[in-house]
Amino acid sequence: SSSPELIVLLERKAELMGHVRAAIMDSPQIGECFDSNQQAWILKGRTLVIAPLNNSVTPVIVTVIPCTNPGSVEEDRGIPIYLGIKDPKMCLYCEDVGGQPKLQLKDQDILDLYNRPEPMKPFLFYHSQTGSTSTFESVAFPGWFIASSSEKGQPIFLTSNLGKMHTTAFRIDLKI
């Protein structure tokens, strides 16, 4: 019988091999993102907001690519990824605004981040997946997660209050 440590090592190797395969991609994975209330991420001006999914709502195409050089990024918190939108080419990033972490969109090609020799922590998120549900934790601000409000039309934002008033669980439907 295999030891639990060996099984964990083999699972980690398989996960890393997935990163190696992704590392040779010349484009990010694309898809759409929804919160647990079936509200889609949409672009309103230069802000990502949520809206109930219906015929008049077109979800924004999100872009996802793993960080190939995680460096000092903590491995056990999830897979470090860059997260952006396809059109216009923008990436999500986190910065300190008035002493509070804030989620923003920046004009940035996700492949430029991907090809850098060092991790760009403000743009990195730990992607953790349980079943079909994903969370996105800021690498620059550990303990702060991408979240949505239950009110439609509200921007997505960062929160450190897990499981309270806001949704931090999302479904990301990536095209293969």
pLDDT digits (tens, 9 = 90+) for 58-109: 899 999 999 887 777 676 788 999 999 998 899 999 999 999 999 999 999 9
CATH number at residue 53: 2.80.10.50
In a domain, 16, yes or no: no
In tens, the pLDDT along 120-139 reads 999 999 999 988 899 999 99
In a domain, 161, yes or no: yes
Domain range enclosing 39: 27-174
Q: How many CB atoms lie within 10 A of CB 77?
A: 15
Helices (H), the chain: 4-23, 110-114
pTM: 0.82
Number of domains in the chain: 1
Between CA 60 and CA 125 the distance in angstroms is: 19
